[in-house]
């Protein structure tokens, strides 16, 4: 079957595929010609393995993510479930206020579950969330890591705050709704993470 590329980024391309008769997507890391071949192969394999582990770990801790069908470390390919849902980016602006608040609360609770287990997504935007069966599924953990630092959790949420400001600026309460959900679910002191977000904003302002 000819694989249809549905997204191509700097580091990877996403193709429509099939796996055991199921509709699937393949995330394939792109080789870099400017790197020494052995180093490039190592990095592709390592990053593929790390991303697959983060996705599996997220699922283990109750966060909705695509099911992983297969991982090919040599080729740098993760084959996973195709989510027949809607990107949050495409629907959030058109929801009524009550539903938008509910969805944002759900986001916050899911992000807190990730952070409770030191899973950093690395690129939390509404483009990387899909609503399916009334659950928010997180995709693309390519920039993710395992990290327990408050700073990193603050940075993770700050990325989402900036995504709201650029894509959903007509609804300025969205990030506050996310933080409401986050505070309910976060097992540590959510205030320290929120304070860190404020510090990051100040740093950017005075840079």
Q: Among all residues, which ones are annotated catalytic?
A: 123
Contact 52, 71 (CB under 8 A): yes
The position carrying tokens 């699922």 is: 59
Cα diameter, the chain: 54
Distance CA 69, CA 26 (A): 10
At a CB cut-off of 8 Å and minimum separation 6, what does 190 contact? 112, 179, 182, 183
The two tokens of residue 195 are 């304070």
Q: What is the C-alpha separation between 5 and 94, in angstroms, rounded?
A: 28
Q: How many residues make up the chain in this entry?
A: 207
Structure tokens at 90: 């495409």
Enumerate residues 6+ apart whose C-beta is below 8 A from 39: none
């Amino acid at each position: 079957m000819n694989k249809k590329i549905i997204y191509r980024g700097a580091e990877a391309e996403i193709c429509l595929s099939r796996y055991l008769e199921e509709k699937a997507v393949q995330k394939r890391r792109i080789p870099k010609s400017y790197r020494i071949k052995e180093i490039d192969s190592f990095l592709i394999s390592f990053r593929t393995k790390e991303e697959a582990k983060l996705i599996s770990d997220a699922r283990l801790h109750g966060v909705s993510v695509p099911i992983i069908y297969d991982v090919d470390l040599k080729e740098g390919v993760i084959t996973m479930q195709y989510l027949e849902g809607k990107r949050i980016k495409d629907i959030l602006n058109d929801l009524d206020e009550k539903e938008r608040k509910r969805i944002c609360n759900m986001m916050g609770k899911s992000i807190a579950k990730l952070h409770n287990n030191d899973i950093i997504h690395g690129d939390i935007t509404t483009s990387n969330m899909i609503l399916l069966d009334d659950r928010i599924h997180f995709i693309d953990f390519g920039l993710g890591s395992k990290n327990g630092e408050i700073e990193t959790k603050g940075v993770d949420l700050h990325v989402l705050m900036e995504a709201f400001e650029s894509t959903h600026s007509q609804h300025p309460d969205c990030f506050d709704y996310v933080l409401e959900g986050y505070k309910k679910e976060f097992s540590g002191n959510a205030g320290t993470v929120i304070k860190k977000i404020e510090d990051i904003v100040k740093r950017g302002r005075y840079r």
